């Protein structure tokens, strides 16, 4: 199900309302313009393996990664609040 070998699909999360994350995305990078990861932003995306935030992301809202069964690593150096 999740990325294996050459099956890496990168997506840049821009944080817009109604943004649709591709179901097959495996690696998420957060755009520099984003400071809050919206509630349910990545909900039910079973192929996401990794998410990388930049230092200016301050908050992750509820259920942002719920049902992401393949998630193995989240790098979030600036996050002060997870709600």
Which structural domain, as residue segments, surrounds residue 32? 1-83
Q: What is the pLDDT of residues 37-50, one digit of tens each?
A: 999 999 999 999 99
Domain count, the chain: 1
The string of DSSP letters for 18-80 reads T----TT--EEEE-TT--EEPTTTTTT-TT--EEE--TT--EE-TTTTTT-TT--EEE-TT--
Q: What is the pTM of this model?
A: 0.89
pLDDT tier at 3 (50, 70, 90 boundaries)?
low
Q: What is the pLDDT of residues 15-65, one digit of tens each?
A: 999 999 999 999 999 999 999 999 999 999 999 999 999 999 999 999 999
């Amino acid at each position: 199900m999740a990325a294996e070998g050459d099956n890496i699909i990168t997506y840049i999360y821009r944080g817009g309302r109604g943004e649709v994350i591709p179901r097959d995305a495996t690696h998420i990078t957060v755009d520099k313009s984003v400071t809050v990861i919206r509630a349910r932003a990545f909900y039910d995306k079973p192929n996401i393996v990794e998410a990388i935030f930049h230092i200016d992301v301050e908050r992750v809202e509820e259920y942002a990664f719920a049902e992401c069964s393949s998630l193995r690593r989240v790098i979030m150096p600036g996050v002060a609040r997870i709600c």
